């Protein structure tokens, strides 16, 4: 997704903007640019491709002197990734420059209106209409012009604006796209997320929708669409800088895989007190929980697959129907959601457009919403009725790993919490599952340590045309995420299917040497999955099994094996996924892929 940054203070702005854009690279982009208020007006430099190109073109920012400016990384939505389409966009009179994260849904009508008024666009972007609107409405009051222009926009935007008539100010506006202000001493910042701020300041102001601000070196003034001042609190950014750095690993993804024991512990530990699950921020009464008729879990991508895996524990323990629904489907589905539905919304970034829309759809229909989210202060975190943070720390790699496992950890906690409140679990089972859950950080570490053969397996399979992942029940839900990991970072085609479905079609694709990853960690149905393995092997498949070391029959049957430690089946997904994350990582490495920033992908899909 696009990212925006801004600075005003005593230092040269350009190097700070370039550094901020580098911190936002993980969001995914295909062009970048900066604009600085110089002594002769607005100086702009923008390029398609990587930020390194921009650094080179501006000689590290030296060619754009000035102490206030804005920057942008663009993930193309309207118009190809070219220099012309890159942001910042400048008004015809050269007085304004704008950067934007989001989508302007009515830009075609606005562009036609602007052309009639003599404001022609030179790019293919939706964003350019914004800077022309500001110019058109400008009559000496910049704040008013920004407010008036914003009032004409429908869609989502986080805006950064500079104007030659205010050489030390930067202006911002927020509507349904994240925008955070960094409070410094004699300098102030803005950015799309905290990773671009933490190296300068830990003091942050989170703007809400329909809020604006003017930043000068010594002041931040937040105001609403009527131009009236708005009181905002300053929050402390808890993330440490090292956590947002690679820490000696070759890729953020590998770092984030191996730090899952710590991340899962951070998600679980603060929520267990005296042998009880305590969900501060999401306390629900026995009456409310006993009155719900169903639970719907909605999300996108890996978050959705975490929901598919967590569903089993909630349904089994609470004895309430639990449905998982892709957010991009739910929002157009006329869903059967009402005040007796609890809608659980999963999101690492808290800014996924479809997930936000599904949350709002559920609230419109009377459901209470529980957000399980990683980014503090994100749109989903603030919009939900109840919010549980996953405390995974910054996840920089586009492909989520600790985001997924910490979401699962919180889902398991919720399952135990709700089952206890509803009186549907006996003490012995509750205590046993709670003890298993508390041990999960160690089990995850074991799963990392007990598969030193994965790099060799990657060498063996990395040239495959496609990889099938199969499993039943909880294993199938993990197969879905395992296939997505393989696809999105190694670019191998991968497909997950329920093992019982094999004979209903997929087996037609099994041919000699076809790799099949067979997940067999659900002790209730091991025999069934093993019969599927015999069927694919009979047709020449090479089976890579994921199972317990104790499952001797499976080990003997498979061509290759990866292991997890013995764990409670209901909670096994949080451990099972780890070898599959590592397999995808090493296959991608063998294929020389850009693992942390896979092609075409963004860390947070803030557009539909
Ligand atoms: C995960 O590896 C993908 N990058 C993607 O599917 C992601 O899970 C999805 O876009 C949802 O993102 P969110 O958790 O930030 O809402």
Domain ranges of the chain: 3-243, 252-438, 454-590
pTM: 0.77
Whether domain 454-590 has CATH 3.40.50.10490: the reply is: yes
- What pLDDT does 242 receive? 67
Two structure tokens written together for 367: 């459901």
Q: CB burial class (10 A; 0-12, 13-18, 19+) of residue 255? A: buried
| Partner residues linked to 74 by β-bridges | 31
DSSP 3-state assignment of 429? helix
Residues 6+ apart with CB under 8 A from 372: 344, 345, 346, 347, 388, 390, 407, 410, 411, 414
Q: CB burial class (10 A; 0-12, 13-18, 19+) of residue 246? A: middle
Q: What is the mean pLDDT of each run of 10 residues along the chain (608 residues)?
A: 92 97 82 96 94 96 97 81 89 97 88 94 91 98 97 94 98 94 97 91 95 98 96 87 71 95 92 93 94 98 98 98 97 94 97 96 97 90 94 90 98 98 97 97 97 96 95 97 97 95 90 96 87 93 96 94 96 98 98 92 82
Two structure tokens written together for 32: 């970048």
Two structure tokens written together for 241: 């800088």
Q: How far apart are CA 501 and CA 468, in angstroms?
A: 13
Q: How far apart are CA 238 and CA 424, in angstroms?
A: 37
Is-catalytic flag, 603?
A: yes
- Architecture label for domain 252-438: 3-Layer(aba) Sandwich (3.40)
Indicate whether residue 544 lines ligand 1 (CB < 6 A). no
Q: State in Å: Cα 301 to ligand 1 middle.
A: 5
Q: How far apart are CA 11 and CA 186, in angstroms?
A: 10
- What pLDDT does 455 receive? 97
Does this chain's domain 252-438 share its CATH topology with 454-590? yes
- What pLDDT does 14 receive? 98
Indicate whether residue 347 lines ligand 1 (CB < 6 A). yes
Q: Give me the phi and psi of 545, to 5 degrees please.
A: -90, 145
Residues 6+ apart with CB under 8 A from 509: 468
Q: State in Å: Cα 346 to ligand 1 middle.
A: 10
Q: State in Å: Cα 595 to ligand 1 middle.
A: 15
| Residues present in the chain in total | 608
What are the start-end ranges of the H helices in 190-300? 252-258, 260-268, 286-291
Q: How far apart are CA 587 and CA 255, in angstroms?
A: 16
| CATH class of the domain defined by 3-243 | alpha beta
Q: CB of 601 within 8 A of CB of 503? A: no
Residue nearest to atom 2 of ligand 1 (CA): 399
Nearest ligand 1 atom to alpha carbon 349: 15
pLDDT digits (tens, 9 = 90+) for 344-399: 999 999 999 999 999 999 999 999 999 999 987 789 999 999 999 998 988 889 99
Q: State in Å: Cα 81 to ligand 1 middle.
A: 23
Q: How far apart are CA 123 and CA 46, in angstroms?
A: 13
DSSP secondary structure string, 139-160? Answer: SS-HHHHHHHHHHT--EEEEEE
Q: How far apart are CA 596 and CA 253, in angstroms?
A: 6
Which letter, b or e, does each residue of 9-18 get, where b requires 16 or more Cβ atoms within 10 Å of its Cβ? beebbbbbbb
- According to DSSP, residue 314 is labeled H
What separation in angstroms does the CA of 353 have from each of 177, 327, 344, 349, 389?
9, 9, 16, 10, 19
Q: Whose CA is closest to 301, among 76, 502, 598? A: 598
Indicate whether residue 401 lines ligand 1 (CB < 6 A). no
- What pLDDT does 243 receive? 64
Is-catalytic flag, 265?
A: no
Indicate whether residue 264 lines ligand 1 (CB < 6 A). no
Q: CB burial class (10 A; 0-12, 13-18, 19+) of residue 535? A: middle
CA 315 to chain centre: 26
Q: How far apart are CA 469 and CA 575, in angstroms?
A: 16
* DSSP H or E segment with residue 69: strand 68-74
Q: How far apart are CA 365 and CA 362, in angstroms?
A: 5
Q: CB of 71 within 8 A of CB of 9? A: no
User: Which one from 23, 485, 597, 603 is the annotated catalytic residue?
Assistant: 603
Q: Give me the phi and psi of 44, to 5 degrees please.
A: -125, 140
């Amino acid at each position: 997704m696009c990212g925006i940054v801004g600075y005003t203070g005593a230092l040269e702005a350009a190097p700070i903007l370039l550094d901020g854009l580098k911190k936002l690279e993980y969001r995914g982009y295909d062009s970048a640019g900066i604009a600085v208020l110089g002594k002769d007006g607005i100086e702009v430099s923008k390029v398609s491709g990587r930020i390194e190109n921009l650094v080179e073109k501006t000689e590290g920012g030296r060619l754009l002197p000035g102490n206030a400016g804005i920057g942008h990384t663009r993930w193309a939505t309207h118009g190809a990734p070219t220099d012309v389409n890159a942001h910042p966009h400048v008004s015809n009179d050269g007085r304004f420059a704008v950067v934007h994260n989001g989508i302007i849904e009515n830009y075609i009508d606005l562009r036609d209106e602007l052309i009639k008024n003599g404001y022609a666009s030179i790019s293919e972007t939706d964003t350019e209409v914004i800077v022309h609107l500001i110019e058109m409405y400008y009559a000496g009051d910049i704040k008013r012009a920004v407010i008036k222009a914003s009032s004409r926009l429908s869609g989502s935007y986080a805006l950064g604006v500079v104007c030659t008539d205010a050489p030390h100010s930067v202006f911002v506006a927020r509507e349904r796209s994240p925008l955070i202000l960094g409070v410094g001493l004699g300098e102030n910042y803005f950015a799309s997320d905290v990773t671009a701020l933490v190296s300068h300041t830990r003091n942050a102001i989170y703007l809400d929708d329909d809020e604006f601000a003017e930043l000068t070196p010594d002041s931040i003034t937040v105001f609403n669409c009527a131009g009236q001042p708005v009181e905002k609190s300053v929050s402390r950014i808890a993330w440490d800088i090292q956590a947002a750095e690679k820490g000696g690993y070759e890729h953020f993804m590998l770092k984030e895989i191996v730090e899952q024991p710590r991340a899962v512990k951070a998600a679980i530990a603060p929520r267990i007190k005296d042998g009880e699950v305590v969900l501060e921020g999401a306390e629900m009464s026995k009456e409310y929980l006993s009155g719900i008729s169903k639970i719907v879990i909605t999300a996108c991508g890996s978050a959705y697959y975490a929901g598919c895996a967590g569903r089993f524990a909630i349904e089994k323990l609470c004895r309430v129907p639990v449905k998982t629904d892709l957010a991009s489907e739910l929002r157009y589905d006329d869903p059967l959601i009402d005040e007796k539905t609890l809608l659980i919304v999963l999101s690492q970034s808290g800014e996924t457009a479809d997930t936000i829309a599904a949350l709002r759809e559920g609230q419109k229909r009377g459901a209470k919403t529980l957000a399980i989210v990683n980014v503090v202060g994100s749109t989903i975190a603030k919009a939900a009725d109840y919010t549980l943070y996953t405390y995974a720390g910054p996840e920089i790699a586009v492909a989520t790993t600790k985001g997924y496992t910490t979401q699962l950890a919180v889902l398991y906690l919720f399952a135990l919490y709700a089952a206890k409140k509803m009186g549907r679990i006996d003490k012995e089972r509750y205590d046993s599952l709670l003890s298993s859950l508390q041990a999960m950080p160690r089990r995850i570490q074991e799963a990392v340590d007990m598969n030193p053969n994965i790099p060799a397996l990657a060498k063996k399979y990395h040239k495959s045309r496609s990889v099938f992942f199969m499993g039943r029940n909880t294993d199938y839900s993990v197969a879905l995420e395992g296939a997505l990991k393989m696809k999105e970072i190694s670019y191998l085609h991968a497909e997950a299917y329920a093992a019982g479905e094999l004979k209903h079609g997929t087996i037609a694709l099994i041919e000699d040497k076809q790799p099949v990853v067979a997940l067999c960690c659900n002790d209730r149905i091991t025999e069934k999955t093993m019969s599927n393995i015999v069927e694919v092997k009979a047709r020449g498949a090479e089976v890579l099994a994921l199972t317990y070391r104790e499952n001797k029959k499976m080990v003997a049957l498979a061509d290759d094996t990866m292991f997890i430690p013995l764990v409670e089946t209901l909670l096994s997904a949080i451990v099972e996924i780890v070898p599959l994350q590592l397999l995808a990582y090493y296959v991608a490495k063998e294929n020389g892929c850009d693992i942390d920033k896979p092609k075409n992908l963004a860390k947070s899909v803030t557009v539909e």
